[in-house]
Amino acid sequence: MATALVKGQNGALAAGPVTVAIRSAAAAEVAALLVTAGGKVRSDADFVFFNQPQAPGVSLRDGVLTVDPALLPAEIAQVRVVLTLDDQGGRFGDHPAPVASVTGYEYVVDGLSSESVVIALELYRRGDGWKVRAVGQGYAGGFADLVTDHGVAVDDDSEPPPSGAAPPSGPASHAEPAVSAEPVVRAVPGEAKLSLEKRKQLDLRKREVSTVLHAGQAGDVRARVVLVIDKTGSMAKQYHRKVVHRVVERMVPIAIQLDDDGLIEPYLYALKHTRLPEITVEHAEQWCETFLHLNGVHGGIDYGALGARNEELPIIGDIVSTLRPGDPPTLVLFFTDGGFAKKREIAELMRTAARLPAFWQFVGLGKANYGLLRSLDEMDGRVVDNAGFFALDDIDRVDDAELYARLLGEFPEWLRAARAAGITR
């Protein structure tokens, strides 16, 4: 019995080859795009369709794709399954929703209207394994929009190729990578459990996040999201006024746009630190009420034992220990009111961390003396600039557009530099 997926949902794939098939009432062609972590093909050889049915690890026969992850090139991070209507003037909205199936899963690709091309599913690397995600992203502009979005150069007046036509020309060798015409807003299943009002606010925030990433040509990037929150006595006002609660709520849209599962990996720190349960979209409010405290025992954690003043080296070192060169990127969102005492040691640790696949965005909460944090952008001796800092006297007075622009503005630039240096993929 296949597991039903909804748009944005994902599931783990069993080891070994898998088959992908599409059932469609309308005449349509199945294809696949083999893309890197940046969401682009390496050449036209990474486009599998009726006239080019083979690529390393992927084959197409009688409308069925077979994908063997073990045979995919190391640079390939995702295999995107594409469905294209044969009728050049056709629209998916005029037909019953197609059904995409992959070994163990099934996805009804509903909600389509004027689109003639749709990415139905995405198979992607996750650690040492592979997962499948229900995508359902359509392209009203048809085939040309699809290939341009994935880095393939086409003429402005090109039309979708008729059956049996030759593939489009390969990526332009000296051109900047193409980006989609509009930011793509992702979703995770837990959003459906929110109230209508909360879903509307979340959608607005996701759009702001997507706009920033899209502008930095990082709209297709998938990254682990780590959240670090200062739990020291000087933060008492921020906790009492629930400013920290609202910080967490505003980080959730970032995780939905970046993380495969829309999850945040959270830590609280003072003299010591603790890793807390992951934050999910549907339980974010409950998570804040359970875990955002300065004292007492909550969720089985003795908050008093963590201390009441700052010690950054252990928490930074712990996160650094989870990173390996060549891994997918990590975004660390580090909220503190300052007080970094061991400046020389922290600076040296951040120089070491520059060789690892994480960008550290430090954010100052409240009016404080941030010292070392203000000099992170100018710190020398690093392979790449792996950290940024800005201070917010009152985060509640900063609108979402400005907040996400400041939180994510440097991340795409770091990512390009880190990829060029072989630090991340």
Q: Of all residues in the chain, what percent carry a pLDDT higher than 70? A: 87
Count CB atoms within 10 A of the CB of residue 191. Answer: 19
> Looking up tokens 């795409």, which residue turns up?
412
The tokens describing 390, both together, are 């800005």
pLDDT tens digits for 191-248? 888 888 899 899 999 999 999 998 888 988 999 999 999 999 989 999 999 999 999 9
User: Mean pLDDT, to the nearest integer, of 36-62?
Assistant: 87
Tell me how far apart the alpha carbons of residues 375 and 389 are, in angstroms, rounded to a whole number. 8
**Looking at residue 376, what is its pLDDT?**
67
> Looking up tokens 């921020």, which residue turns up?
238
**Looking at residue 359, what is its pLDDT?**
97
**Looking at residue 361, what is its pLDDT?**
95
pLDDT confidence bin for 169, thresholds 50/70/90 = very low
Mean pLDDT for the chain overall: 86
Q: Of all residues in the chain, what percent carry a pLDDT higher than 90? A: 54
177-186, 200-209, 402-411: which range is least confident on average? 177-186
Residue 57: closest CA among 42, 41, 43, 46: 46
Tell me how far apart the alpha carbons of residues 98 and 235 are, in angstroms, rounded to a whole number. 53
Count CB atoms within 10 A of the CB of residue 176. Answer: 8
**Looking at residue 171, what is its pLDDT?**
37
User: Mean pLDDT, to the nearest integer, of 141-155?
Assistant: 63
User: Mean pLDDT, to the nearest integer, of 125-146?
Assistant: 78
On whether the CB atoms of residues 229 and 244 are closer than 8 A, the answer is yes
Tell me how far apart the alpha carbons of residues 395 and 360 are, in angstroms, rounded to a whole number. 19
Residue 326: closest CA among 7, 42, 45, 74: 74
Whole-prediction pTM value? 0.64
Tell me how far apart the alpha carbons of residues 378 and 266 are, in angstroms, rounded to a whole number. 28
Domain range summary for the chain, segments of one domain joined by +: 3-149, 189-420
**Looking at residue 130, what is its pLDDT?**
93
> Burial code of 247-283, b = ≥16 C-beta within 10 A, e = fewer?
bbbbbbbbbbbbbbbbbbbbbbbbeebbebebbbbbe
Q: 3-class DSSP state for residue 350? A: helix
In degrees to the nearest 10, what's the CA dihedral of 85, 90, 94, 100? 10
Superfamily of segment(s) 3-149:
sav2460 like domains (2.60.60.30)
Tell me how far apart the alpha carbons of residues 197 and 43 are, in angstroms, rounded to a whole number. 44
pLDDT tens digits for 336-395? 987 777 788 988 999 999 999 999 999 988 766 665 666 666 678 889 999 988 888 889
Please indicate whether the domains covering 3-149 and 189-420 agree at the CATH topology level: no
Tell me how far apart the alpha carbons of residues 244 and 291 are, in angstroms, rounded to a whole number. 11
220-234, 312-326, 390-404: which range is least confident on average? 390-404
On whether the CB atoms of residues 42 and 151 are closer than 8 A, the answer is no
The tokens describing 4, both together, are 């039903």
> Looking up tokens 């969720």, which residue turns up?
299
Q: Please state which CATH number belongs to domain 189-420.
A: 3.40.50.410
The tokens describing 299, both together, are 């969720």
> Can you say how many angstroms the Cα of residue 425 is from the centroid of all Cα atoms in its chain?
13
> Can you say how many angstroms the Cα of residue 198 is from the centroid of all Cα atoms in its chain?
21
Tell me how far apart the alpha carbons of residues 301 and 128 are, in angstroms, rounded to a whole number. 31
Where are the alpha helices (H) located in 241-327, listed in sequence order? 243-258, 284-291, 312-320
Regarding predicted confidence, which is higher, 367 or 423?
423
On whether the CB atoms of residues 347 and 316 are closer than 8 A, the answer is no
Burial class of 157 by CB neighbour count within 10 A (0 to 12, 13 to 18, 19+): exposed
User: Mean pLDDT, to the nearest integer, of 23-52?
Assistant: 86
**Looking at residue 402, what is its pLDDT?**
92
Which residues are 225's β-sheet partners?
331
On whether the CB atoms of residues 140 and 180 are closer than 8 A, the answer is no
